[in-house]
Amino acid sequence: MAKFSYVKRTSLTAMFIAFCVILPMAFHAVGLGSTFAPMHIPVLMCGLISGGAYGLICGMVGPLLSSVITGMPGAAMLPSMVPELMAYGLVAGLLMKRVRTGKLYADLYISLGAAMLIGRVVAGIAKMLLFMGGEGYSLGLWISAHFVTAAPGIICHLVVIPILISTLMRAKLIPKRY
């Protein structure tokens, strides 16, 4: 969003990084952390609102800071989760800047869908590299982990994030797109 200053984008990114720590704690407290992947929400929103570079930073710093402060995600998950979230933030921001269908929800769904798919591919590649050069990690395992098991989180993200962005625009807390 071109109307945001560097200071506002940086401040929003810091807020989204804080949400990367807070949301997982809240979701895990009621046993829904792994199911709904709450850390993905602020990273995707950061990319969509502040831009790709800020989303990339949020995707890198958020999980690292959360791991240091809360122990979530565990150290074993960081090597695949950090690149995944970095890809989410970067791609969501880049596509939101480039995609202009004339309809907010179309732009959001195109940007979100592509970011979530590319992020999952990046996570799969990272896991493949971690597991003995790919031995022991299969396409079926990747599909199961990143699509089947993650389905509730994917649906949640595709429902909640566009509603939040639209609400923030209507409240004039972020600039309107159209």
pLDDT of residue 1: 43
The torsion of the CA quartet 165, 167, 171, 172, rounded to 10 degrees, works out to 20
**pLDDT tens for each residue of 9-39:** 999 999 999 999 999 999 888 887 777 889 9
Q: If you count DSSP H runs as helices and E runs as strands, how many of each does the chain have, helices first?
A: 8, 0
pLDDT at 124 over 90: no
8 Å CB contact between 162 and 112? yes
8 Å CB contact between 62 and 80? no
The per-residue pLDDT of the chain, averaged, comes to: 91
**pLDDT tens for each residue of 85-104:** 999 999 999 999 999 999 99
8 Å CB contact between 165 and 108? yes
**pLDDT tens for each residue of 40-55:** 999 999 999 999 999 9
Rounded to whole angstroms, what are the CA distances from 113 to 79, 110, 118? 23, 5, 9
Q: What is the pTM of this model?
A: 0.92
